[in-house]
């Protein structure tokens, strides 16, 4: 209802321009019991059912920062809705309203979890399944220097290379899919990984298909040879590192800005002037707290 209070609701604007695509991104959606309730990523994740699947055995469910509901189920799915509506407008010539709910977005994003329930991937309690830290060959392990290695050797041929790299004999180990042996195998893997540094494990597994990779920190990620070769991370004029825009388009790749991120409200006046607002109108919008203006101050 925020935009309606400003007289800028979708019904008003669509009357002015029937081709307009109006996206509304909220946590719980535009209707329903929780529609006007406050919430955050963890709440939307909880209501979607996905949070119940996240977490280790005998531990509480945990939310992976705020990536799933806010950004994936919210921002990305909303952007996809906008692109879809733009494509549809080419045929109908009409715009429409997009009701992007983060609850529904992250639920739809997790369709794989729903559709694979009868495949045996998720029929055990949380933290005891193939992809949720239950399997010894799909988890992270601490190295002797306090860093970590990520292991994802699901397929038998990859698992065999993992076993070889760890210096074990597969003929003397239980079956890869022996659920009852998973806890003991995790202890064995953990003990072995703890005997070498991350760099030493990289020298063993790099160039193999064991699906073993280093868990890189933000400080290390731009220095890794693979990321350097692809220029996956960039520096701005303040020497701050961030990811390069993705995915990479062959003909019209994004040209990233190497300038520092703007302050909130830094360009408000400039943009409004460009769109024909007078300085008096901008001042009124600012005093009414409709917009925010914040000019950066020189460090003298």
Active site residues: 40, 70
Q: Which residues pair with 140 in a beta bridge?
A: 150
Query: Cα torsion for 204, 207, 213, 214, to the nearest 10°?
Result: 60
Q: Rounded to whole angstroms, what are the CA distances from 148 to 196, 221, 222, 243? A: 11, 13, 17, 22
């Amino acid at each position: 209802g925020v935009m309606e209070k400003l007289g800028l609701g979708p019904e008003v604007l669509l009357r002015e321009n029937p081709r307009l695509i109006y996206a509304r991104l909220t946590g719980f959606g535009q209707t329903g019991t929780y529609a006007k309730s406050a919430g955050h990523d963890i709440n939307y994740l909880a209501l979607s059912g996905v949070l119940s699947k996240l977490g280790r055995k005998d531990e509480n469910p945990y939310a992976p920062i705020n990536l799933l509901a806010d950004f994936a189920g919210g921002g990305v799915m909303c952007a996809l809705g906008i692109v879809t509506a733009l494509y549809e407008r080419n045929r109908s010539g009409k715009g429409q309203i997009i009701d992007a709910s983060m609850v529904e977005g992250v639920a739809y994003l997790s369709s794989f979890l729903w559709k694979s329930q009868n495949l045996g991937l998720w029929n055990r309690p949380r933290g005891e399944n193939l992809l949720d830290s239950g399997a010894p060959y799909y988890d992270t392990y601490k190295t002797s220097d306090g860093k970590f290695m990520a292991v994802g050797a699901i397929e038998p041929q990859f698992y065999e290379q993992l076993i070889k790299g760890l210096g074990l004999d597969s003929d003397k180990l239980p079956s890869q899919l022996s659920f009852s042996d998973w806890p003991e195998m995790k202890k064995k893997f953990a003990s072995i990984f703890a005997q070498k540094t991350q760099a030493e494990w990289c020298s063993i597994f790099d160039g193999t298909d064991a699906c073993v990779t280093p868990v890189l920190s933000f400080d290390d990620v731009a220095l890794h040879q693979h990321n350097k070769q692809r220029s996956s991370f960039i520096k701005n004029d303040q020497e701050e590192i961030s990811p390069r825009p993705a995915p990479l388009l062959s003909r019209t790749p994004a040209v990233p800005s190497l300038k520092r991120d703007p302050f909130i409200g830094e360009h408000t006046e400039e943009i409004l002037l460009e769109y024909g607002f007078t300085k008096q109108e901008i001042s009124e919008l600012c005093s009414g707290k409709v917009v925010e203006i914040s000019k950066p101050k020189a460090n003298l």
